[in-house]
Structure formats: structure tokens, C-alpha cells
Amino acid sequence: MNKNTENRQKMKTRDIFTVVLLALINVVIFFASSLLYATPITIILMPIFFSLLEGIVFFIIGGKVQKCGAIMIYCVVRGILGGYLPYVILYLLAGVIGELVMWKAHYGNAKGLTISYMIVQVFASIGSTIYPYAITFQSLAEKSEADGRAANITEAAEILQSGGAVVLLIGVIICAFIGAMIGKKIAKKHLSTMN
């Protein structure tokens, strides 16, 4: 089967089910780790942590379901379950870009998956950390007065606004690359279809 024919294969119900279930693993990791948002430093470091960890599931999806739409479905699930509009929008945009990369690179291609994963993680960090904590932090801090998180949010915002956002994005890019290498190694070990 040549590259163009394989890129046009349609997803079946079981493929969609597989992507959604695997995406939910990363959602569970996200929600379980959200307890670490307790200090300003952990607020800032969470996207780096996720970039290292979530590549495993991303590469298993990319290696197991090598069809158009798999990356987009992953991003839709992750974005919608994030429940924050900028996060949803940026995940959807990352999904579109990721699908274009995979269409061009060939579904299941490790290099294309690496680039797609890095794009997804950068957009996710902007939607989950940079936008709420560095741009609209005031409204977030006001909403968090009652539970005592306002001071942490304000301190995280100050760090991100004073150059921390750029450092965070660089850290996410580096860790997403490392996470992709970990994911690729595990996917190649367990999936014979990974190329």
C-alpha cells in the first residue's frame, strides 16, 4: 500500500474507541497530577512534567491507529475534558496542525509524530498555564480568593510575566522532544507497526 492510499484510510469505530480510551489515560494523568498545582513553581513546571510523560500514550496512538483523524480525536478529547475555553481552542488548533504534519509525513511515522507531539504540548502549555496564569491571572486570582490559592496564582503570574513564559516554552519543547523519544522507544518495542 503506498503512502497516499494509506493516508486516505478511514477510521473505523474501533479505531475511534482506541484513540478515545488512550487519550483518557493522559486525561487521568492530568487530573491526578493537578494536585501538584499547589505552589507557584509546580504551577509553572506542570506542562514540563506532562511533556515528559504523555508522549508514551501519544506514540501508542500514532503507532496503533495510523489513520487520518487519530491525532485530531486525541486533541478533541484532551481539549474538551480540560474544560477551559482557551485550552480547548488551542488543543483543537494543535490537532489540526498535527493532522497536517501527519498527513505530510505519513501516518505512523516517528518523525511526524515527534513534531506533532511537540506542537500539541506547546499549544497545551499556552492554554493551560501561560494564558490563564500570565495573561488573565487577575480574574483567576479573584476566583481563588476563597480557597487560598490567590497568592500562588499571583506569584506564578509574576514569574511567567518576567520572562518565565519564554523559559517555560523552551522547557516544554525540550521535554516534549525527550517525551517523544521515550514514547517512540516504548511504541517501537510494543507495536510492530511503528516506523
Tens of pLDDT, residues 100-113: 999 999 888 999 99
pLDDT confidence bin for 6, thresholds 50/70/90: very low
First-to-last C-alpha distance (Å) of the chain: 14
pLDDT at 147 over 90: no
Res 194: pLDDT: 61
**What does the DSSP 8-state code read for residue 9?**
P
CB 51, CB 176: distance < 8 Å: yes
Res 61: pLDDT: 94
**Nearest-5° Cα angle at 109, 94 to 169:** 35
Res 40: pLDDT: 85
Cβ neighbours of residue 22 closer than 8 Å, sequence gap 6 or more: 57, 60, 61, 64, 74
pLDDT confidence bin for 29, thresholds 50/70/90: confident
Q: Which residue has the cell 481552542?
A: 89
Round the CA-based radius of gyration of the chain to a whole number and report it. Answer: 17
Rounded Cα distance, 134 and 153, in Å: 9
Res 177: pLDDT: 98
